[in-house]
A and B are shown apart, each in its own frame.
Chain A
Amino acid sequence: MSVRNQPARFESDTDEALELNFDIQGHPVRRPWWKVWSKRNNRVPWVSIFVVLFVLVLPALLADVITTHDPLRGVLADRLTPPFWMEGGTTTYPLGTDKQGRDILTRLIYGARISLTVSTITILIGAVVGSTLGLLAGYFGGWVDRFVSWLIDTFLSLPHVLLALVIVAAIGPSFVTIVAIIAVTIWASFARQVRGETLSVRETEYVARAHVAGTTSWRILLRHVLPNVANTLIVLATLQVGVVILEESSLSFIGAGIPRPNPSWGVMVADGRDQILISWWISFFPGLCILLVVLSLNLLGDWLRDFLDPKMRQRGRS
């Protein structure tokens, strides 16, 4: 999992763009703003934004408005109805129903709400805890840094699926449990990233100047370091939404996440597992939602990184 948390990406698109912005000797070439803007605009991942918006965010916010079916209780008589385009399908249940007769589309919509809630809360916790510790470690160095670094390493080498199983075995699955487990596993990547950034910001001149001017450490952290790290945080948070969604659905799938009958996408895939031969739609659609949303978030995160963080963009080019 530590690997998935690690932002890595494709260089080529941005590289090409960079080559174009510099002359042979590395001199910036001035271009009319409209050309720059149109090139930039071309690279906005509209499809990704569209997918994130229409598969994740809007359904999550408007679940009660969009659908009239009950996500938890189905009509037993209508169970295992196939999607509308198949024989026996009906537009009442556009994507079919599961073995309890619950509308798949409705459950997907409510599932988006679960995914979005879990990822928002865990990332808020992870980002606050992680960046605080990262800032402290990077700024103060010394034993603070050594301790925090050790904590980061330890948490990154935790077998978190097993931990989740232990916790769930002990206190049972619940919304709070899953949020706690995921928050525990993601703060470390925030901490590591922020620590690195802070270290480099600390070296820069203006922080030194702030020191000379007699500003206190806390002021420096808040006024100088945090804004510099902000872009990194935005990028990391975007990428982490995908990580959290995958994590939550995996844990829910093995029964260590969102408890039934709540329609987490992971739970839905698990529900359809035994029916895969006859009623493939039960498992297929929730998994497809996860795939599309996570894929889009990854593309979006990479794009945001290029857009917001020129330092990261230029890293790796000598």
Chain B
Amino acid sequence: MSLDQPMGTVNDVPRTAPVLEVQDLRTYLYTRWGTTKAVDGVSFSLGSGETLGIVGESGSGKSMLALSLVRLTPEPAGKIVGGRVMLNGRNVLDLTDRQMREVRGKEISMILQDPQQSLNPVFSVGDQLAEAIRVHDRDLDDKLIHERSVDALKSVHVPAPERRLKNFPHQMSGGMKQRIVGAMAMAYQPQVLVADEPTTALDVTIQAQYLRLLKDLQERTGVAIIVITHDFGVIAETCDRVAVMYAGRFVEEGPVEQIFDHPRHPYTRALLESRPKVDLKSTRLQSIDGQPPSLIDLPIGCRFAARCAYAIERCLAEYPPWFEITEAHAAACWRSEEVPWPSP
């Protein structure tokens, strides 16, 4: 991975070989009520230094997608049933549990949604950080670990790191905890960082700060970042490319500007239109009329058709293939080439 990888070259497919390549990933949840197809055939690739945003409503399967990448789907209901997750040229799904543990934290890391909940309340921050460092480097002595912990905290701009190490989670603010979680995730400079709703639990003012921090880390280490969010403000601020997820599948994917300016899937457009225009940072998805389909009994045709104002007969009968709009921009909609859509 190169540190001088140009940032924000949005229109280009990454020139280097992708660090992460996901092909036709399927993760199902087996429940007594039936099988929930939480992730149902998702493919994308990610080059180092690149940031991909995955946006969707609650229940679209985006969190399950994130957990599938690190193979931490909830046991025993969640199972990855198909596809490949190629990380540095290896299929993560073929690894043994032991090998997978080596990969976690070292090659791929994840930041969880809620910083209030993601630190263990009964261990000191230093203890938890040291653990993240020691796990992949068993022969480090305590002094070295301490130094590395301090460095890790410095890298996420935590003031007075020495003192912070002795603190317990309840003695810190949410923003501070989120930074520490970030430091843990970045302790081994992984090639891929998955951030699941990294800012929803934070104050609006701290959100921006934290996003800048992520960008900053990326510039220094060249880490590829996947940001999972329902917030287009976050996408606008951090991402190069964006994928829109609906009912377990990507429905549109492309460079951020193209998606924002020329959305080609009615769902994307509805999402964009439903957010307040005034302040990008505080946007939260307004609901679109109707409910997402149950992931158990999915329709044969386009999954959005039932809520779509532009649906035609074909939408109900046949699932749309990808239509390429530009080299990097594609949408899975039968009418993606008819823009602007005629009114229903």
Chain A residues near B (Cβ < 8 Å):
16-17, 19-20, 23-27, 29-31, 35, 39, 318
Q: How far is the CB of A15 from chain B (nearest CB, A)?
A: 11
Given the contacts A23-B295, A24-B38, A318-B117, A29 and B61 also touching, CB distance less than 8 Å:
no
* Contact call B61/A24, Cβ cutoff below 8 A: yes
In the assembled complex, B58 has its CB within 8 A of some CB on chain A: yes
Taking a contact as CB atoms closer than 8 A, the residue among A24, A25, A26, A31 that contacts B33 in the complex is A31
Chain B residues near A (Cβ < 8 Å):
29, 31-33, 36, 38, 58-61, 63-64, 77, 117, 294-296
Q: How far is the CB of A118 from chain B (nearest CB, A)?
A: 41
* Contact call B59/A24, Cβ cutoff below 8 A: yes
* B63 / chain A contacts, CB cutoff of 8 Å: 24-25
* Contact call B294/A29, Cβ cutoff below 8 A: yes
Central interface residue in A17, A24, A25, A26, by most chain B CB within 10 Å: A24
* A25 / chain B contacts, CB cutoff of 8 Å: 58-60, 63
* B38 / chain A contacts, CB cutoff of 8 Å: 24
13 A-B Cβ contacts within 8 A? Answer: A19-B31, A20-B32, A20-B33, A24-B29, A24-B61, A24-B63, A24-B64, A25-B58, A25-B59, A25-B60, A29-B296, A35-B33, A318-B117
Docked CA distance A120–B63 (Å): 51
Interface of A is mostly: loop
Query: Who on chain A is nearest to B73 by CB?
Result: A24
Docked CA distance A27–B36 (Å): 13
* Contact call B33/A23, Cβ cutoff below 8 A: no
User: What is the total of A-B residue contacts with beta carbons within 8 Å?
Assistant: 34
Query: Who on chain A is nearest to B58 by CB?
Result: A25
* A318 / chain B contacts, CB cutoff of 8 Å: 117
Given the contacts A24-B38, A24-B64, A318-B117, A29 and B33 also touching, CB distance less than 8 Å:
yes
* A29 / chain B contacts, CB cutoff of 8 Å: 33, 294, 296
* A35 / chain B contacts, CB cutoff of 8 Å: 33
Q: How far is the CB of B115 from chain A (nearest CB, A)?
A: 14
* Contact call A23/B36, Cβ cutoff below 8 A: yes
* Contact call B117/A26, Cβ cutoff below 8 A: no
Q: How far is the CB of B141 from chain A (nearest CB, A)?
A: 37
* Contact call B36/A24, Cβ cutoff below 8 A: yes
* A39 / chain B contacts, CB cutoff of 8 Å: 32
Taking a contact as CB atoms closer than 8 A, the residue among B77, B294, B295 that contacts A19 in the complex is B77
* Contact call A27/B31, Cβ cutoff below 8 A: no
Query: Who on chain A is nearest to B56 by CB?
Result: A25
* A19 / chain B contacts, CB cutoff of 8 Å: 31, 77
Given the contacts A25-B58, A27-B59, A16 and B32 also touching, CB distance less than 8 Å:
yes
* B61 / chain A contacts, CB cutoff of 8 Å: 24
Docked CA distance A22–B31 (Å): 11
Q: How far is the CB of A191 from chain B (nearest CB, A)?
A: 30
Q: How far is the CB of A4 from chain B (nearest CB, A)?
A: 28
Query: Who on chain B is nearest to A318 by CB?
Result: B117
Docked CA distance A27–B287 (Å): 13
* A31 / chain B contacts, CB cutoff of 8 Å: 33
* A23 / chain B contacts, CB cutoff of 8 Å: 36, 59, 294-295
Rank and list the top 7 A-B pairs by shortest CB-CB distance, nearest first: A25-B58, A25-B59, A23-B59, A20-B33, A20-B31, A27-B59, A24-B38
Docked CA distance A155–B63 (Å): 49
* A30 / chain B contacts, CB cutoff of 8 Å: 294
Docked CA distance A23–B31 (Å): 11
Query: Who on chain B is nearest to A31 by CB?
Result: B33
Q: How far is the CB of A16 from chain B (nearest CB, A)?
A: 7
Docked CA distance A19–B30 (Å): 11
* Contact call B117/A27, Cβ cutoff below 8 A: no
* A16 / chain B contacts, CB cutoff of 8 Å: 32
Query: Who on chain A is nearest to B33 by CB?
Result: A20
* B58 / chain A contacts, CB cutoff of 8 Å: 25-27
* A20 / chain B contacts, CB cutoff of 8 Å: 31-33
Q: How far is the CB of B55 from chain A (nearest CB, A)?
A: 14
* A17 / chain B contacts, CB cutoff of 8 Å: 32
Docked CA distance A25–B61 (Å): 8
Q: How far is the CB of A43 from chain B (nearest CB, A)?
A: 12
Docked CA distance A26–B296 (Å): 15
Docked CA distance A23–B59 (Å): 6
Docked CA distance A221–B192 (Å): 57
Known interface pairs A24-B29, A24-B64, A318-B117; 11 further A-B residue pairs with C-beta atoms within 8 A, sorted by A's residue number: A16-B32, A17-B32, A20-B32, A23-B59, A23-B294, A24-B38, A26-B58, A29-B296, A31-B33, A35-B33, A39-B32
Query: Who on chain B is nearest to A36 by CB?
Result: B33
Q: How far is the CB of B38 from chain A (nearest CB, A)?
A: 5
Docked CA distance A30–B64 (Å): 20
* B295 / chain A contacts, CB cutoff of 8 Å: 23-24
Docked CA distance A27–B63 (Å): 13
* B294 / chain A contacts, CB cutoff of 8 Å: 23, 29-30
Docked CA distance A189–B295 (Å): 44
Q: How far is the CB of B100 from chain A (nearest CB, A)?
A: 22
Docked CA distance A39–B33 (Å): 10
Docked CA distance A35–B294 (Å): 15
Docked CA distance A176–B117 (Å): 52
* B60 / chain A contacts, CB cutoff of 8 Å: 25
Q: How far is the CB of A31 from chain B (nearest CB, A)?
A: 7
Central interface residue in B31, B77, B295, by most chain A CB within 10 Å: B31
Docked CA distance A31–B36 (Å): 14
Query: Who on chain A is nearest to B67 by CB?
Result: A24
Q: How far is the CB of B254 from chain A (nearest CB, A)?
A: 25
Docked CA distance A27–B294 (Å): 10
Q: How far is the CB of A274 from chain B (nearest CB, A)?
A: 52
* A26 / chain B contacts, CB cutoff of 8 Å: 58
* B59 / chain A contacts, CB cutoff of 8 Å: 23-25, 27
* B31 / chain A contacts, CB cutoff of 8 Å: 19-20
Docked CA distance A25–B64 (Å): 9
Q: How far is the CB of B323 from chain A (nearest CB, A)?
A: 28
* A27 / chain B contacts, CB cutoff of 8 Å: 58-59
Central interface residue in A17, A26, A29, A39, by most chain B CB within 10 Å: A29
Q: How far is the CB of A91 from chain B (nearest CB, A)?
A: 47
